Amino acid sequence: KGIGVSCLCPQAVRTAMTAQGAGVAGVDGMIEASEAAADVLDAIENERFLVTPHSEVLEYVSRKGNDRDRWISGMQRLQERYEDWKPGDS
């Protein structure tokens, strides 16, 4: 069968690295590492390439593929909007 490849595209995952906050990646919320791992295992078992533990990521990927310039502008606006955002901010 050969070598299988999967691409993991999470947003914020709760780990020691995100203990002080996940910045912009955490805007849609953080998931546990065990949730991300379960999605990875499911993707491998089902030979799925794109692994997106956060459901929002599928929409982002779709937007990126349809109009890259618009997607880049949107990501720049998002970054600017949450530049100083910290966990607990509303």
Q: What pTM was estimated for this model as a whole?
A: 0.59
**Any alpha helices (H) in 1-90, and if so which ranges?**
33-45, 55-66, 68-81
DSSP 24: G
43-82: per-residue pLDDT in tens? 999 988 888 887 777 777 777 777 778 878 887 888 888 7
Domain ranges of the chain: 7-81
CA-angle at 8, arms to 32 and 31, nearest 5°? 15
The rounded distance, in Å, linking the Cα atoms of 17 and 77 is 25
8-41: per-residue pLDDT in tens? 888 888 878 777 766 666 666 778 899 999 999 9
